A and B are shown apart, each in its own frame.
Chain A
């Protein structure tokens, strides 16, 4: 992804964000929790340092899916917006599909590939991590 500012939004537009600079990492996640938050077979996300990220319209609602983990979503339309974890407290994790231009996303890896759904067939050559990690 090119240097910022890069912007994104929820489905209804009540929540908007922007960040500057490069992403820390970008990839697909197959873990069950991400799949259930997004109600999707796979989600794609990226990390941005907190000090280069800001909400530019509205503020998302938060759900603590486990201790130290917050999943943020739009309270108006429900669109999943972000993931925050005490384990990665320097950055916010954002969903590629919320970008104003999602086609610019450049995933480099799969995470929790061991949890992928059997009927999801992707054919890329990206690194496949059985669990988390880059």
Chain B
């Protein structure tokens, strides 16, 4: 299908595809996302189970806290996804992993209270202290 969102790790060993519609696409400033990506901010989107699949390779998995599974490429290390037991039927992929990372646009900021002081965000998107729930 031509409207599939496709993505990959840095080396291309692991690839995935997602059938729209996705759940929301957001920027996240929480320390766990920052440390998973080694970046000042992560951007991710949710995909319900049944609408996505790994199309090449198999990522490694790490449980960063109870019930939170983070996956990454074992060859190049690139972060690929995370999922939480609290939203057990949804996987989250990183927007920057998409073959076209501009195919989606984040619509809000999560955990803005944890934002690093030197990252000067200049957009007008809603900024939530937590996950917007």
A19 contacts the other chain (Cβ, under 8 Å)?
no
Instruction: Count residues of B near A (Cβ-Cβ below 8 Å).
Output: 46
Q: Mark B86-107, 1 if CB is under 8 A from A, else 0.
A: 0000000011110001100110
Smallest CB gap from B33: residue in A: A40
Looking at A38, A42, A106, the one whose CB has the most chain B CB atoms below 10 A away is A38
Q: Using a CB-CB cutoff of 8 Å, which residues 37-84 of chain B contact chain A?
A: 37-43, 60, 62, 64, 70-80
**Cross-chain contact B64 with A11 (CB below 8 angstroms):** yes
Question: Can you identify 13 A-B contacts, CB atoms within 8 angstroms?
Answer: A10-B38, A41-B43, A63-B76, A65-B11, A65-B76, A78-B36, A78-B72, A79-B36, A79-B37, A97-B39, A119-B102, A119-B105, A121-B123
Chain B interfacial positions (CB closer than 8 Å to A):
8-11, 27, 32, 34-43, 60, 62, 64, 70-80, 94-97, 101-102, 105-106, 116-123
Chain A interfacial positions (CB closer than 8 Å to B):
10-12, 28, 33, 35-44, 61, 63, 65, 71-81, 95-98, 102-103, 105-107, 117-119, 121-124
A-B interface, 4 closest residue pairs, ranked by CB to CB distance from nearest: A73-B77, A78-B72, A123-B122, A40-B39
